[in-house]
Amino acid sequence: MIAFLVLIGSVAVYGQGQSQGHAHAHNHSCIHNNHQQLQADQVIISVIADMEKDGDGIVEQTEVEKEFVEKYDHDKSGDVSEDEFVKQWHQQYHDAPDFAGYLFHHFDSNDDHKLSAIDIVNFVKSADADGNGRVSIAEFQAFLTNLYVNCVPSHYSHGR
Ligand SMILES: [Ca+2]
Ligand SMILES: [Ca+2]
Ligand SMILES: [Ca+2]
């Protein structure tokens, strides 16, 4: 009888620990919701303008890194936390925080809850559709459009 009670107690504690541990990990919706009613393609054009700084038509890894280091890494820790990303993305592009969180999780390719050099390397790989080692503006635009459009089949309206 005593053993039975102990067992129930430990199951209850285990259950609590589980639900707390995963409470806020993946509860981001991915409905594109912009606080200034910007359409996805308008946001994407701004993102490209911010990233592609030297005007050579290629989004370089160094350009993306520079943008993240200068604008997103608020506490200068050397990487971009989810809070930093969501805050900055929201401020810059007015996408809803939930949507920015969805983007963060997509960009965080190694799932360590921060954006660092390895994520940017992986991002360049996945956006480089023709595999020539460089991300053209068209490839970058297609990559972002895919992220924005595919997360919201029922809510997204493109105006076309
Ligand atoms: Ca460039
Ligand atoms: Ca940081
Ligand atoms: Ca990461």
Cα–Cα distance list, 68 to 9, 29, 78, 148 (Å):
47, 23, 9, 20
Q: State the ligand closest to the CA atom of 107.
A: 3
**Ligand 3 centroid from CA 18, angstroms:** 23
Q: How many CB atoms lie within 10 A of CB 148?
A: 21
**Ligand 1 centroid from CA 81, angstroms:** 25
Percent of the chain with pLDDT over 90: 72
Q: Lowest mean pLDDT of 26-30, 63-67, 85-89, name the range.
A: 26-30
Question: For the chain, what are the domain ranges?
Answer: 26-150
**Ligand 3 centroid from CA 139, angstroms:** 22
Q: State the ligand closest to the CA atom of 48.
A: 1
Residue 125 structure tokens: 């790989």
Residues with Cβ–ion distance below 5 A, ligand 1: 52, 54, 56, 58, 60
Mean pLDDT of 93-112: 95
Whole-model pTM: value is 0.76
Tell me the sheet residues that pair with 100.
Answer: none
Q: State the ligand closest to the CA atom of 85.
A: 2
Distance CA 61, CA 56 (A): 13
**Ligand 2 centroid from CA 82, angstroms:** 9
Q: How many CB atoms lie within 10 A of CB 21?
A: 9
pLDDT bucket at 90, cuts 50 / 70 / 90: very high
- Residue 4 pLDDT greater than 60, yes or no: no
Q: State the ligand closest to the CA atom of 59.
A: 1
Distance CA 141, CA 105 (A): 19
Distance CA 62, CA 41 (A): 24
pLDDT digits (tens, 9 = 90+) for 108-158: 999 999 999 999 999 999 999 999 999 999 999 999 999 998 875 444 344
Q: State the ligand closest to the CA atom of 104.
A: 3
> What's the longest Cα–Cα distance across the chain?
75
**Ligand 3 centroid from CA 69, angstroms:** 14
